[in-house]
Chains A and B, each alone.
Chain A
Amino acid sequence: MALNKMQRDRQQREGGRRVALDAVRRRVEVVKDMTPSTPGPGRRQFLQGIAAGAGAVWLSAAPELLRATARAASCGAVNDPYRVLSSPEVAALDLLTELILPTDDTPGARTAQVVRFLDHALAGFAASDLPLFRQGLTDLDRLAGQRFGQGSFTALSPGAQVELLQSLETAGAPFFESLRTATLTGMFANPEYGGNHGKSGWTLIGFEDRFAWGPPFGDYDRE
């Protein structure tokens, strides 16, 4: 019974489908002239890159390690000593994370206390990345000497700092990729991990952590 109705419905629809196919045929000419889209990193390709290489540890930590890091970060106070980072390392990472997400009239890495997040993470779930970070900071100081005759990255002019970081990105340096991933993670992760201080990262982009919504969801709902 139901199937008879199904067949009838199908026949009624055939006409409409043919019209749609004609429309498709007309569109083909357009397609043939189209330049293929520029290849770039796909989202899951990007995930794969992260999973396989630089930055992996920031996005695939074992749950129990994450929980331990969150506990440690939640117990910390603003003026506590850093857990693994030295003062020069804190100073350099403060500059570097600010290059990635500058603090201006809106929140940036400094506002969100991303370096605090890095310290907790590198002492906790991301400990395996600490050698990469230390080596990366050492390399930056060395490059500051070689290219600009300065003793450290922090002593460089802002323009020279940007130039050095750009060269790391262009070279595909694992330290750069890991630093970028870690900075964005610290900026936007739940505040319990020590960054996104006062939800400043979420405020920046307009994310509200209400976790229950209804219409209107946005400006176009009533159209």
Chain B
Amino acid sequence: MSESGVPYRPSDPVDFVIVGAGAAGGVVARELATAGFRVVVLEQGPYLRAPDFRHDELAVLRLAELTNDHRRQPNSLRATDRDPRVVTPAVGYGRAVGGGTVHFTGNYWRFHEVDFIERSLVGPVAGTGFDDWPISYAELEPYYTRVEWEIGVSGLAGASPFDPPRSRPYPVPPLPIKSIGVLAERAARAMGWTAFPAPMAILSEPYRDRMACIQCGFCETFGCEMGAKSSTLVTMIPEAEATGRCEIRPDSYVRKVEVDQRGRVTGVKYFDAKRREVYQRARAVVLCANGAETPRLLLLSRSNRFPDGLANSSGMVGRHLMFNGGGLTGGRFEGRINGYRGTVDTRVIHDLYQLDPGLGFVGGGGFDFRWDTQPIGFALWGLDPKAPRWGPDFKRRLRESFTRTAYALAHTTSLPVPTNRVSLDPHLKDDWGLPAISVTWQEHPNDLRLSEYFVARAMDLLAAAGAVERWSYPAGAGGWWPQVHLLGTCRMGNDPRTSVVDRFHRAHDVPNLFIVDGSSFVTSGRGQPTMTIQALAFRAAERMGELARRGELG
């Protein structure tokens, strides 16, 4: 019996099989099931519930409970094709029903207009596949609004002078400001900037039968025991199951998308919890497995007809991997901030979202003031990296700093570089015997300079906020492994020679295969990609339903 009580037989072709029950998969499942289609969702991780989410830092510090476990699913990493591959955690993603939305922080920035047309605005950048999106912000705007109202996003419309246009306010007001947000406001004022209430996928008020946040402080890396965090686990997925047409199958690890003689997909093969192979047939397949696992699955699905991997006639599957750059800075203050109480951040600064290209680099970014660590994590790596790491002075610093530290985090553009990519490791295998994810990645000089600029500005912000001591960590995406924003690897475009999916997320090469997750992105935005992933998912699901009703999916 399935979790939802709708057991479909694998030999019975359902309308859609969706791979991945995360940010995108949850939305697509709910939209298609609500529209009357028969849906199976395959999720490699477990089906956890609110009582499974505990305030136990030791249990989730390495996230083995809620994310991919690198002991069973190793990665390799190298800078260029000439370098040897090193086995190390390279990508991190949610591995549970709800995916990354279970443990994420909940920062829900919309992309701005510029993110879709930046290539046209600033011109080409050497060594990149920098391009415009085939859709505009205006086309996506109604779906951003749907995300906010369907899952419940807290925020204040019009509070940011840089916010893109919106057709509707937020459904619930912003979360209460914390001391750390007051410091962000103080800093922004001194710089002539604006710190505005952070849009968060966490409820400030009860909404659609869910409770408001009680400010436990265990958001990032933890699951929410109150259901106040607007994960797909507590929003989209229960609604999909309530239709009686959607079956969520946890512990189901997909290894191949199958195709017939005509080059159409017929379903997927996966390992169940007991590692038995199952072949679930479907009229159409939707990949929502994230920007690393989706290209991997396409590459694993090579066949006589698709020798370079499924949907890969362009050779773009896995390429243009982007992460978001930026950097972390920390500051100690005289008064108690108590960042550990309540949500991670409450104020965001977008004054540098769109920098003048005259500065010498492309892109931009945003800042938040945050506290995203807990006692063990703080003791291990929360202090200035140059400070003593043990002994009386170390202990004094821990004692004086835990309640008095704030971090200013910069989130910035990453450019799409074709050689930065996800591929199959030729030697390394996972626990199921499948080729492991191999990441080849070297930071583009533009992105590193941009990140350094933002780290310097974050240090300015901490000074302006009155920090008595400041420090920074290395700038750029290269300082952050494993990477968790996994973008661009099956990019969207109008030209089948240079992109993997069309403007509605249909694979150019395969008419009944859809791909919607971070892999669809053409540019990285400035950070916080989940909101855009979900807006794309609402839009894509609408199209899938239209095509299915017109009988175009076979």
A-side residues, CB < 8 A to B, are 2-3, 5-7, 9-10, 13, 16-17, 20-21, 23-25, 27-28, 30-31, 34, 36-48, 50-52, 59-63, 66, 99-102, 104, 106, 108, 162, 165, 169, 180-181, 184-185, 187-190, 193, 201-202, 204-207, 209, 211-221, 223
Q: From the candidates A2, A17, A46, name the one contacting B354 in the complex (CB within 8 A).
A: A17
| CA of A59 to CA of B457, assembled, Å | 33
A218 and B335 form a contact (CB under 8 A)? yes
Q: Give 19 pairs: A residue, B residue, CB < 8 Å, sorted on A.
A: A2-B141, A6-B141, A16-B161, A27-B457, A40-B385, A44-B481, A45-B479, A47-B62, A102-B392, A165-B390, A181-B380, A204-B399, A205-B375, A206-B403, A213-B215, A214-B176, A218-B338, A223-B182, A223-B186
Interface of B is mostly: loop
Which residue of B has the minimal Cβ distance to A28?
B359
Q: In the complex where A10-B113, A41-B385, A187-B379 touch, is A102 in contact with B395 (Cβ < 8 A)? A: yes
Chain B interface size range: 35 or more
B216 and A63 form a contact (CB under 8 A)? no
Which residue of A has the minimal Cβ distance to B375?
A188
A3 and B457 form a contact (CB under 8 A)? no
| CA of A218 to CA of B167, assembled, Å | 36
For residue B402, CB closer than 8 A to chain A, the reply is: yes
Contacts of B214 in A (CB 8 A): 211-213
A213 and B341 form a contact (CB under 8 A)? yes
Q: In the complex where A60-B62, A215-B176, A220-B183 touch, is A162 in contact with B399 (Cβ < 8 A)? A: no
Which residue of A has the minimal Cβ distance to B218?
A211
Q: In the complex where A3-B165, A187-B379, A204-B399 touch, is A220 in contact with B179 (Cβ < 8 A)? A: yes
| CA of A223 to CA of B249, assembled, Å | 50
A189 and B58 form a contact (CB under 8 A)? yes
A218 and B390 form a contact (CB under 8 A)? no
A213 and B342 form a contact (CB under 8 A)? yes
Contacts of B182 in A (CB 8 A): 220-221, 223
A25 and B359 form a contact (CB under 8 A)? yes
B-side residues, CB < 8 A to A, are 55-59, 61-62, 64-65, 69-71, 87-89, 113, 138, 141, 161-162, 164-167, 176-180, 182-183, 186, 192-193, 214-218, 328, 333, 335-342, 351-352, 354-356, 358-359, 374-376, 378-381, 385-386, 389-392, 394-395, 398-399, 402-403, 452-453, 455-457, 459, 472-475, 479-482
B351 and A51 form a contact (CB under 8 A)? no
| CA of A100 to CA of B216, assembled, Å | 30
- Beyond the given pairs A41-B385, A217-B180, 8 more chain A to chain B contacts, judged by CB atoms under 8 angstroms and listed by A's residue number, are A10-B165, A37-B452, A59-B62, A63-B59, A205-B399, A212-B215, A216-B179, A218-B339
Least CB distance from A206 to B in Å reads: 4
Q: From the candidates A3, A38, A52, name the one contacting B138 in the complex (CB within 8 A).
A: A3
A202 and B89 form a contact (CB under 8 A)? no
Least CB distance from A150 to B in Å reads: 21
Contacts of B403 in A (CB 8 A): 205-206, 218
| CA of A93 to CA of B65, assembled, Å | 30
| CA of A38 to CA of B455, assembled, Å | 12
Interface of A is mostly: helix
Q: From the candidates B64, B162, B186, B479, name the one contacting A61 in the complex (CB within 8 A).
A: B64
A42 and B342 form a contact (CB under 8 A)? no
Contacts of B459 in A (CB 8 A): 37
| CA of A101 to CA of B61, assembled, Å | 21
| CA of A143 to CA of B186, assembled, Å | 53
Which residue of B has the minimal Cβ distance to A125?
B58
Contacts of A52 in B (CB 8 A): 87-89
| CA of A56 to CA of B352, assembled, Å | 38
| CA of A221 to CA of B339, assembled, Å | 11
Least CB distance from A146 to B in Å reads: 23
Q: In the complex where A220-B183, A221-B182 touch, is A41 in contact with B381 (Cβ < 8 A)? A: yes
Which residue of A has the minimal Cβ distance to B92?
A44
Residue of B166, B338, B342, B378 ringed by the most chain A CB atoms within 10 A: B338
| CA of A213 to CA of B89, assembled, Å | 35
Contacts of A217 in B (CB 8 A): 176, 178-180, 215, 337-338, 341-342
Least CB distance from B389 to A in Å reads: 7
Contacts of A25 in B (CB 8 A): 356, 358-359
| CA of A48 to CA of B90, assembled, Å | 9
Q: From the candidates A6, A188, A223, name the one contacting B166 in the complex (CB within 8 A).
A: A6
